[in-house]
A and B are shown apart, each in its own frame.
Chain A
Amino acid sequence: MIIKLERVKVQSRKSEEAINITPNVDDIVGKSGVKNGLVNVMTCHTSAGLLVTEGIPCLEEDILTHFSRLFPEEEDYHHRRYLDFDGRMGFNADSHLKSILGGIQCMFPIENGKIVRGSRQTIYFMEYDGPLERVYLVQVLGE
């Protein structure tokens, strides 16, 4: 049984952004030595996300636009106050809610050393509160 965990840094460059990380995940799986098993990808953040959808720019835009329609920046959130444990103001409830809605992880099977996924399926790191340097985890398990 092989279990490998990689921490990958990603620098978002905008306030909100869909970043295609599929090639990186493919690469990590390919180098892991696992022929048959599973790969799990997750973000380490609560104001960013990770989701799978068709990899085309119009959908990237639709996801961000409609998440913002559901959770507008200016709303009557309780999470708009000084956070003493952070020493700063918290007012990014919309980012947290988008992260919950879109999810923070995905899992794919591995067969013959490659990820098995639909031809349209693309893995996105979703930035909802950037620009920031972020981290996502890729764990490969199998034989």
Chain B
Amino acid sequence: MIDFHTHPVLIREFAEKYPNYVRVAREVFNIGNNFQPLETFFLQMDVAGIEKVVLLPIACERARQDPVSNNEQVAELCGMSDRFIGFASVDPMAPNAPKELEFAITELGMKGLKLDAALQDFDLNHPAVFDLYEAASSLGIPVLIHTGMSWAQGTPLEQGQPLLLEQAIRKFSKLHFVLAHWGWPWVWDASALALKYPNVFLDTACLYYDGPIEFFQFVFSKQIPTTLIERSLRNQVVFGSNYPRVEIKNMVKALRSLGLTEGCLAKILSTNAERLLGIRQ
């Protein structure tokens, strides 16, 4: 099983090694929990039954002074364990952004691109972003983009609207777009994009009130019907937890509480992610 959405922001070893790591966790990513040894990360995966996780950095240094983890740090973690799958993040507004991405993929071994328009402060339809999509498409990697609400301070909600991505989704029909957080609260918009465009995927990393099971029960059975996932989107959904904002085990439980068939769960928890990552055809 693969968790497609985690952030390596509370790792004790990095807090001790990298001077700005603590400030970024507290002031940019906006998380107040204790830093934990790397071992805790693996144990959190173990109790959730998760074999591998995707690590997501955010290259927001232009907008927020420092990145929320950088590509080198993610590569360092991936070098420590094959349970980590690293994504790269680059600032689309940087003049050499496509080259930076190419370096991260070909030299650092990253497997995808992570973008967050609100935290990185860019316009989703700026031509420079499309240049980056072009590069990602050529490299054959997926792009995971923050959609929906963000807890990071100073980030406008409107930049998380899934429909802002439609132009890019249409133009780059071979490029796989993973809409993080299922676009919540715009879950219908995100779902409609996935229904209409086969190159759109959705991750389940959404929890904004109540507990995970309560939230999933409402969003994925009342806000949108569970049958939409089971029947129509089963090949386009990947499991994501948003750890460490939420423990992985709780999000797995929430997903399992929906009453999806084992076949559908297997796709969401494993197969779809493996296809996106090129592990499986």
Do A and B form a real pair?
yes
> A-side interface residues toward B, CB under 8 Å?
11-15, 74, 77, 80-82, 85-89, 91, 130-133
A74-B40 CB under 8 A given contacts A87-B31, A89-B245, A131-B47: no
Q: Which residues of B contact A131 (CB under 8 A)?
A: 40, 43-44, 46-47
> Is B250 on the interface with A (CB-CB < 8 A)?
yes
* Chain B: minimal CB distance from A119 (Å): 34
> Is B262 on the interface with A (CB-CB < 8 A)?
no
In the complex the two chains form, is A88's CB within 8 Å of B31's CB?
yes
In the complex the two chains form, is A82's CB within 8 Å of B37's CB?
no
Q: Which residues of B contact A85 (CB under 8 A)?
A: 32
Q: Is the interface of B mostly helix, strand, loop or mixed?
A: loop
In the bound complex, CA of A132 to CA of B245 (Å): 14
A74-B211 CB under 8 A given contacts A86-B33, A87-B29: yes
Q: Which residues of A contact B47 (CB under 8 A)?
A: 14-15, 130-131
In the complex the two chains form, is A133's CB within 8 Å of B37's CB?
yes
Binds A, one of B66-74, B104-112, B114-122, B202-210: B202-210
* Residue of A13, A89, A130 with most partner-chain B CB within 10 A: A89
In the complex the two chains form, is B213's CB within 8 Å of A81's CB?
no
* Chain B: minimal CB distance from A15 (Å): 6
In the complex the two chains form, is B209's CB within 8 Å of A82's CB?
yes
Partner of B39, one of A87, A89, A133: A133
In the complex the two chains form, is B250's CB within 8 Å of A91's CB?
yes
* Chain B: minimal CB distance from A92 (Å): 9
> Is B246 on the interface with A (CB-CB < 8 A)?
yes
> Is B244 on the interface with A (CB-CB < 8 A)?
yes
In the bound complex, CA of A86 to CA of B39 (Å): 22
Closest to B25 in A: A87
* Chain A: minimal CB distance from B255 (Å): 15
Q: Which residues of A contact B12 (CB under 8 A)?
A: 133
In the bound complex, CA of A96 to CA of B43 (Å): 21
Partner of B246, one of A12, A81, A88: A88
> Is B98 on the interface with A (CB-CB < 8 A)?
no
Q: Which residues of A contact B29 (CB under 8 A)?
A: 87
In the bound complex, CA of A14 to CA of B34 (Å): 18
For this complex, 20 residue pairs linking A to B, each with C-beta atoms less than 8 Å apart, are A11-B39, A12-B43, A13-B46, A15-B47, A74-B214, A80-B210, A82-B151, A87-B29, A87-B31, A87-B32, A88-B31, A88-B32, A88-B245, A89-B246, A91-B210, A131-B46, A132-B34, A132-B36, A133-B12, A133-B34
